[in-house]
Amino acid sequence: MVSDSSTTLALIGGGNMGSAMLAGLLGGESPPYTPDRILVVEASPERAAYLTSTFGVATTTLDEAPRRAGTILIVVKPYHVAAVLAELSTNLTDDHLIISAAGAIGIAQIEETLGGKNPVVRCMPNTAASVGEGMIAISAGTHAQPADLDKVQSLMECVGRVVRVPESQLDAVTALSGSGPAYFFYLAEALIDAGVLLGLSRPLAVELVNQTAVGAGLMLREAGDDAVRLRAEVSSPGGMTIAAIRALESGAVRAAVMSAAEAARDRSVEQRSA
């Protein structure tokens, strides 16, 4: 039996990000949600069965979701959003809170499709939400009140850290933290290959790189904006690390990273304009 609709969340989309959100919301020693307070809408029967068996959540249909949940969290690919909103809108009331994590889809497009006065909050999480360490940015729509933002922030804090930004900054946020885990995984992959090149076994290289990433990440979080100091402290004069940093600079790695973020930002803008 699903609990009262005002306290129930309907998650639309059970793909990678959807399952990451479920893992964060239902995981840990004291999970903020229980399975009876979450419904999932998933088009693939096989995927829906997996989510039910893994997380214990019930599934429902798009047209039924607004009748059974007061908060709707949309986590589907951008090209599915218009159809999802069109079907949802038939049973929405102005009291339904709509949260969109659907990539480049703008708030104005969502509000226009719904045609009502629903509070809409757009958010940009990343897949680290699955381990409760996501980075999530949220932006308010035209009809969203401070209480709506507070509710979304409280919801998203279940899976990571939350910042509030104007929607105009979400393309840049997408390029940094939304896509960011992939950049770190890419660097980790390269370092693991480097370890193998240097004669280490792959399992050993994996263990060395993965734990180094965890430790460095924690140091960065504690240091705040002091990444330059942390890097300098490891780079002794005339030592091995500074020689490695020189090689990275010679390879224009810094410029490549900045170009990658620009490319991600530009693609986000393109998807919204398409």
Environment class of 51 (CB within 10 Å of its CB; exposed 0-12, middle 13-18, buried 19+):
buried
Residue 152 burial by CB count (10 A; 0-12/13-18/19+): exposed, middle or buried? buried
The whole-angstrom separation of Cα 11 and Cα 21 is 9
244's tokens: 């490695």
**Residue 8's Cα: distance from chain center in Å?**
21
What pLDDT does residue 23 have?
A: 87
Give the DSSP H or E segment for 139.
strand 134-140
Residues 129, 16 contacting (CB under 8 angstroms): no
* Cross-strand partners of 97: 71
Which residue ranges in the chain fall short of pLDDT 50? Answer: 1-3
Supply the pLDDT for residue 224: 82
Residues 77 and 100: their CA atoms lie apart, in Å, by 11
Check residue 124 and give its pLDDT: 93
Q: Are 192 and 205 in contact, with CB atoms under 8 Å apart?
A: yes
The closest of 30, 182, 32 to 22, measured between CA atoms, is 32
Q: Rounded to an integer, what is the distance from CA 125 to the centroid of its chain? A: 2
Please give the DSSP secondary-structure letter assigned to residue 80: G
**For the CA atoms of 158, 160, 162, 167, what is the dihedral angle to 10 degrees?**
-100
Residue of 90, 92, 91, 148 whose CA lies nearest to 123 = 148
pLDDT at 105: 87
pLDDT in tens, 57-105: 999 999 899 999 999 999 998 888 889 998 898 889 989 999 999 877 8
| H helix or E strand, kind and range, residue 94 | none
How far is residue 82's CA from residue 189's CA, in Å, rounded to a whole number? 36
Look at residue 4 in the predicted model and tell me its pLDDT.
57
pLDDT of amino acid 137: 97
d(CA 106, CA 103): 9
pLDDT of residue 274: 66
Amino acid at position 209, single letter: V
Enter the DSSP assignment of 29: S
